[in-house]
Amino acid sequence: MPLYEYRCRTCDTVFEARRPMAESSLPAPCPNGHEDSRRVLSAFASVNAGGSSSSSSSAAGAPAPSMGGGGCGSCACH
């Protein structure tokens, strides 16, 4: 089951819940017992085959993370 991120409209708590895709848009109960939540989009970082990274929160021109061992830079196979 996919993991979704939600924000409670009552107490502003951000939490995750594993739910079927068919239920992803429905409100999920927050850990504080409120029922008024909204699904939010999660930001994540990724590394492409060229070795550069991208993230919605990373600074422009930041160096790509080192994956160690040389090679292509997108995995630790070398």
Which residue matches tokens 């850990």? 31
Nearest in space to 37 (alpha carbons), one of 59, 17, 60, 8: 8
SS3 label, residue 58: coil
Per-10-residue mean pLDDT for the chain, 78 residues long? 93 94 91 93 74 52 53 59
Q: What type of residue sits at position 47?
A: V
Q: Which residues pair with 57 in a beta bridge?
A: none
Q: What is the pTM of this model?
A: 0.53
SS3 label, residue 54: strand
